[in-house]
């Protein structure tokens, strides 16, 4: 019989992604280890600064030559700020009010560049609005029942390129364990054995092939060569976690 955690999966709403999630120096999110002991998890990043954003956005500019960009699930807005530094008209949204608000938002990200929005509701952007749509460490936070809608919205607002970085089950998506993956339901409790994975808000962790199938479309083509170009431009120390996961680049065909 599967033992269930006391954490219901509908716990992972926007309010879950608060100061303890992003910078819980003394706190953090509690979870039970496999031996029953209680541990804490958090990003532990007071400022939200990640210098890797500079090389990543510069690589995007070289590869995609975008005028504008949308960062989906932008967190505290670091990518948006660094893209703006190099004259990409970037904006983003996230459903964490703390991350987008005055306390959590990255210091160099202006509040007019980002907004609070739930990706599972129609996005407040016109069709084909952005040269590039990026979603970094985002899709593993979306319930499987909502994935198809979110994918359709990405395709609706993207004009030319989609750039994805997704935690997958073969590697760090399951905290280093090599299982087949899992998908939580909104109305079910988290299995106790997966509480250490769930604490980060990862509700859908699947192999890369799952995501490739979800993004398969007559409108686009998976560009593995563009991924390889991107990786060649960015220091591998910056991409150490990304390279353990899945980086997918899609080119959208012209109508």
| pLDDT tens-place string over residues 126-183 | 999 999 999 999 999 999 999 999 999 999 999 999 999 999 987 654 554 556 789 9
Mean pLDDT (whole number) for 220-227: 98
Phi/psi-derived region of residue 44, left when phi > 0, alpha when psi is between -120 and 50, beta in every other case: left
User: Strand 220-222 relative to strand 246-252: parallel, antiparallel, unpaired?
Assistant: antiparallel
Residue 132 lies in a domain: yes
Query: Of the candidates 159, 171, 201, which has an alpha carbon nearest to the alpha carbon of residue 68?
Result: 159
Q: Which two tokens stand for residue 235?
A: 């220091």
With contact defined as beta carbons under 8 Å apart, do 196 and 34 qualify?
yes
In three-state secondary structure terms, 154 is helix
Residue 208 lies in a domain: yes
Instruction: Tell me the C-alpha distance between 116 and 234, whole Å.
Output: 30
Instruction: Tell me the C-alpha distance between 37 and 68, whole Å.
Output: 47
Q: Is the pLDDT of residue 52 over 60?
A: yes
Name the domain count of the chain. Answer: 1
Q: What angle do CA 254, 82, 99 make, to 5 degrees?
A: 100
Residue 245 lies in a domain: yes
Q: Phi then psi for 145, rounded to 5 degrees?
A: -60, -20
Distance (Å) of CA 133 to CA 2, 11, 49: 39, 28, 21
Q: What angle do CA 171, 177, 181 make, to 5 degrees?
A: 75
Residue 45 lies in a domain: no
The larger pLDDT score, comparing residue 27 to residue 247, is at 247
In three-state secondary structure terms, 132 is strand
Structural domain of residue 168, as residue ranges?
52-174+202-252
Q: Phi then psi for 220, rounded to 5 degrees?
A: -145, 170
Chain mean pLDDT for the chain = 92
With contact defined as beta carbons under 8 Å apart, do 219 and 157 qualify?
no
DSSP 187-217: TSEEEGGGHHHHTTT--EE--HHHHHHHH--
Question: What was the pLDDT predicted at 175?
Answer: 52
The answer to whether the pTM exceeds 0.75 is yes
Residue 33 lies in a domain: no
pLDDT classification of 3: cutoffs 50, 70, 90: low
Residue 114 lies in a domain: yes
Which range, of 31-35, 120-124, 168-172, averages the lowest pLDDT?
168-172
CATH number of the domain encompassing residue 59: 3.40.50.150
Q: Could you identify the residue written with the tokens 């960015």? A: 234
Question: What was the pLDDT predicted at 176?
Answer: 47
Secondary-structure breakdown of the chain: helix, strand, coil percentages, each rounded to the nearest 5: 35, 25, 40
User: Strand 68-72 relative to strand 89-94: parallel, antiparallel, unpaired?
Assistant: parallel
Residue 154 lies in a domain: yes
Largest CA distance in the chain: 56
Residue 225 lies in a domain: yes
What sign does the CA torsion over 176, 11, 103, 90 have? positive
């Amino acid at each position: 019989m599967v033992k269930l955690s006391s954490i219901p999966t509908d716990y992972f709403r926007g309010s879950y992604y608060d100061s303890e999630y992003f910078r819980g120096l003394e706190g953090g999110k509690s979870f039970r280890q496999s031996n029953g002991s209680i541990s804490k998890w958090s990003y532990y990043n007071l400022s939200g600064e990640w210098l890797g954003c500079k090389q990543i956005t510069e690589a995007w500019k070289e590869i995609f030559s975008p005028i504008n960009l949308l960062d989906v699930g932008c967190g505290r807005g670091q990518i948006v700020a660094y893209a703006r530094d190099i004259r990409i008209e970037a904006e983003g949204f996230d459903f964490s009010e703390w991350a987008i608000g005055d306390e959590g938002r990255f210091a160099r990200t202006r509040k007019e560049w980002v907004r609070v929005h739930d990706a599972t509701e129609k996005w407040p952007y016109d069709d084909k609005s952005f040269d590039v749509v990026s979603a970094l460490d985002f899709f593993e936070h979306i319930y499987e029942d909502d994935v198809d809608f979110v994918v359709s919205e990405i395709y609706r607002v993207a004009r030319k390129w989609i750039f994805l970085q997704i935690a997958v089950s073969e590697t760090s998506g399951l905290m280093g364990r090599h299982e087949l993956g899992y998908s939580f339901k909104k109305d079910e409790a988290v299995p106790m054995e997966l509480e250490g994975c769930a604490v980060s808000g990862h509700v859908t962790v699947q192999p890369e092939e799952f995501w490739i199938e979800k993004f398969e479309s007559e409108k686009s083509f998976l560009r593995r060569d563009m991924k390889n170009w991107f990786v060649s431009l960015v220091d591998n120390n910056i991409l150490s976690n990304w390279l353990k996961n899945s980086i997918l680049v899609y080119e959208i065909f012209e109508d």
